[in-house]
Amino acid sequence: MTLYSPEFSESEQSKIDAEFSRLTENKSVYLDHAGTTLYAESQVKAAAEQLQRNVICNPHTCRLTGDFVDQVRYKVLEFFNTTSEDYHVIFTANATASLSLVAENFDFGSFGNFHFCQENHTSVLGMRERVSHAKGIYMLTEREITGCSLQNGSSKEKPTDPGRSLVTFSAQCNFSGYKIPLDAIGNIQENGLHTPGKHIWGTEGKTSNNDYYICLDAASFVATNPLDLKRYRPDFVCLSFYKIFGYPTGVGALLVSKRGAEAFRDRKFFGGGTINYAYPHTMEYQLRESFHQRYEDGTLPFLAIVGLLEGFRTLERIVPKTKELATMERISRHVHGLAKYLEDQLKQLKHPNGEPLIQLYNKAGYQDRTRQGGIVAFNVRTDSGDYVGFGEIACVAALHGILLRTGCFCNIGACQYYLGLDGDAMDAIYKRAGRICGDYFDLIDGQPTGAVRVSFGYMTTIHDVEELLKMLRSSYLATKPQQRILFIEEQAGQLPPVLQKRVQNLRPKLLQMAIFPVKSCAAFKIEGYLKSWPLTDQGLKYDREWMIVDMNGMALTQKRCTELCLIRPLIKNDVLELHFGDSCVSVPLSLEDQAADSAKCVSKVCRQPVEGLDCGERVAEWLSTNLGQDGLRLLRQSGQRNSSKDQQKLSLVNQAQFLLVNRSSVRSLQFEEPLDDTVDRFRANIIIDTGLAFEELSFKQLSIGKVQFQVQGPCQRCDMICINQKTGERSPETLTTISRLQSGRMRFGIYITRISKDTGDLQLSCGDTVLVE
């Protein structure tokens, strides 16, 4: 077990706490420092006093403002242990603007390529749209970046006319907190890439002879870690100051090494402050001699830049350096210690059956601070291994006063890597399901589309971590799902509007309906454009109103004839069409039309006599021909049939009006086939997804939309579920898997009966909310 050892002394911690008393007053726990850290109270007070004390105006007018701006440039260089001899400081709006500036101005030459890391912020992906002058674009994995040294340490061959290739990666992943070893910077600059990565765009060709430049997205890293630019020398460093100080926003920087400056091409645009002169009557102009001035278009955000001075001073005052450790080194140790403690505590959270509560996402663990920062990414799981949507976690956390982040954190590549999503899964999430960055569409077929992230700053305390752990224990180990959902719904008014919308989706929904017009044949599914279906006093309209009987009048089922699953029904206009391959036959939907030209007959279902109408010779011959059995007939139920228990009216079903199946229970079987195919094996009328496997077995009553149902009991399964409903092939492991999961019992799905006997115009609709008693 990891014991927490504080980095700050008691007196230091007291001073820090005093700067953030608003958190205590608002009963808030702030755990999204990777989004932005918080500003200290004395910091903003001192910044305001500075504005009151001085006349700070446009630097083109006021020399004092220019002096302030120059002083900030010096502090930025000092903060990263470098000087103006080695790096230029260009002020930008934020790290994204810095990345854009590099993409627009980097000169790739004739053969240069753009390489980026998969686990990068979305803004790095945006660079691809502005590097069309590169020869090719490649995606690198983190391992391809860190394993970049050429074998035997030999340097790459220098061509006479090399291209310039740009490699962009994050020093610290903002999804997981994993730190890419910064030694990779020098290795790539010296030796190039061992592999170019996956070709994404442009011309694919030999690239090993190019000169390689490094663009380091340091926004996440420098917020809580020291970056020594004397030791590591990336050509470009992109950052946002609000990540470090919390205030002010709207100002970032691009640090450009002297080598990097030589790789910038002449600008195609200039703005005020970037030129010595520009003629209106000719195309002549002259850029400023100072490198940073050429790229700072227009008037700088000078008030925000001046405010950075108090950011530097406050950080050094609140977290003073020691003889051994500088300020940022101490902050790095502090946030890593908290993350390490949290990770250890999360691993110990177990359900009563021993299953872990938390699925963690990291690469190297939390033992080595040089590889892992103060970020912990995870998802919550149920005792059956199903995932809890991160949107629900966001709701629960907000109601407990905990501010954290959920989703993909503008890092879809890292999300793809840690969640194990292939191209098809990505398309299912973003193209077919329509998820967008920042929404709370958190589960698709039970699989997460994002995660929960907590991240720490120098003002985070061990108490904050314990509050998060307390929330997870009380909400997900000591509380049943229905209780938790009720708690969220009752408190929903306290949530932000975007989370209030998520509350509406906490309850399970009716995902799909299926009717089986011909007993034991394939389903007619209510989905897609067909959202609703009417109810009758027997169940879903047309469900199991027909059945196929043999020459002895006995009902034919898939146990005797697996090919029945290949007969596909289609309800179209006023007829029921039956399809088998390319062959088709139809019968009227109207019972009156059927009765006008049909003979009466009697058969049995579950030992009960059933009155029926023979549907005629044409469909009988069609059935016998396609199923290869003589004497087959199609019968339609015409007389009333009641259940033996409660006199409910039944169609040709075996036991109850409806069969309900929970997709979460189906997922737990983990068959090596598409989930929809496994769901089809159970031939349910009503399909829901509660997020918890086998939860439906505890239901007593439920309502779907406006319709109330009584649970009759579990469905005891036979070997019919071993039949793949698309192919007719048998796979016995279906039954054995259910038996193993339920200690020898064969229960799967539940029988339900409508309580109300007043049919009226009642119908069920896909998307109806399922409420369970």
Q: How confident is the model over 54-79, as pLDDT tens digits?
A: 999 888 788 899 999 999 999 999 99
Burial 46-81 (b: 16+ CB within 10 A, else e): bbeebeeeeebeebeeeeebeebbeebbebbbebbe
- Statement to judge: residues 593 and 463 lie in one domain: no
For residues 62 and 199, membership in a common domain is answered with: yes
Q: Answer left, alpha or beta for residue 752, where phi above 0 means left and psi between -120 and 50 means alpha.
A: beta
Top mean-pLDDT range of 208-217, 451-460, 522-531, 763-772: 451-460
Is residue 153 domain-resident?
no
Q: Is 474 among the domain residues? A: yes
Same domain for 539 and 475: no
Q: Residue 22: how many CB atoms within 10 A of its CB?
A: 11
Q: What value does the mean pLDDT take over residues 47-60?
A: 90
Question: What does the pLDDT average to over 492-500?
Answer: 92
Confidence of residue 708 (pLDDT cuts 50, 70, 90): very high
Given pLDDT bands bounded at 50, 70 and 90, which one contains residue 149?
A: very low
pLDDT of residue 272: 81
Task: Return the CATH number at 175.
Answer: 3.40.640.10
User: Is residue 643's pLDDT more than 70?
Assistant: no
Domain boundary among 449, 474, 505: 505
- 683 phi and psi angles, rounded to 5 deg: 50, 50
Q: Which neighbouring-strand residues pair with 569?
A: 578
d(CA 130, CA 149): 28
Say yes or no: 605 and 723 in one domain. Answer: no
pLDDT in tens, 666-705: 988 888 888 999 999 999 999 999 888 888 999 999 999 9
Q: In 3-state terms, what secondary structure has residue 509?
A: strand
Q: Looking at the structure, tell me whether residues 168 and 240 fall in a common domain.
A: yes
Q: Give the per-residue pLDDT at 356.
A: 97
Residues 258 and 124 placed together within one structural domain of the fold: yes
Whole-number mean pLDDT of the chain? 91
Question: Once rounded to an integer, what is the mean pLDDT over residues 285-299?
Answer: 88
Is residue 175 in a domain?
yes
Q: Is residue 75 part of a domain?
A: yes
Q: Which of 283-297, 379-393, 738-752 has the highest mean pLDDT?
A: 379-393
Q: Which range has the worst mean pLDDT, 165-174, 237-246, 401-410, 730-739?
A: 730-739
**Residue type at 148?**
C
What percentage of the chain has pLDDT greater than the value 70?
Answer: 94
pLDDT of residue 641: 59
Residue 150 confidence (pLDDT) above 50: no
Q: Is the pLDDT of residue 285 over 90?
A: no
Q: What is each CA distance from 383 to 349, 350, 351, 663, 762, in whole angstroms?
A: 11, 8, 6, 16, 37
Q: Is residue 22 part of a domain?
A: no
Judge whether residue 736 has pLDDT over 80: yes
Domain co-membership, 627 together with 708: no
Q: Are residues 383 and 236 in the same domain?
A: no
Query: Residues 628, 571: one domain?
Result: yes
Amino acid at 602: V
| pLDDT band at 213; cut points 50, 70, 90 | very high
Residue 600 binned pLDDT confidence (cut-offs 50, 70, 90): confident
Residue 410 annotated among the catalytic residues of the structure: yes
Based on the fold, state whether residues 542 and 411 are members of the same structural domain: no
Q: How many domains does the chain have?
A: 4
Domain with 721, as residue range(s), is: 658-772
Among 410, 565, 722, 766, the one annotated catalytic: 410
% helix / strand / coil in the chain, to the nearest 5? 30, 25, 45
Q: Please give the Cα distance from 514 to 525 (Å, whole number).
A: 4
Q: Is residue 691 part of a domain?
A: yes
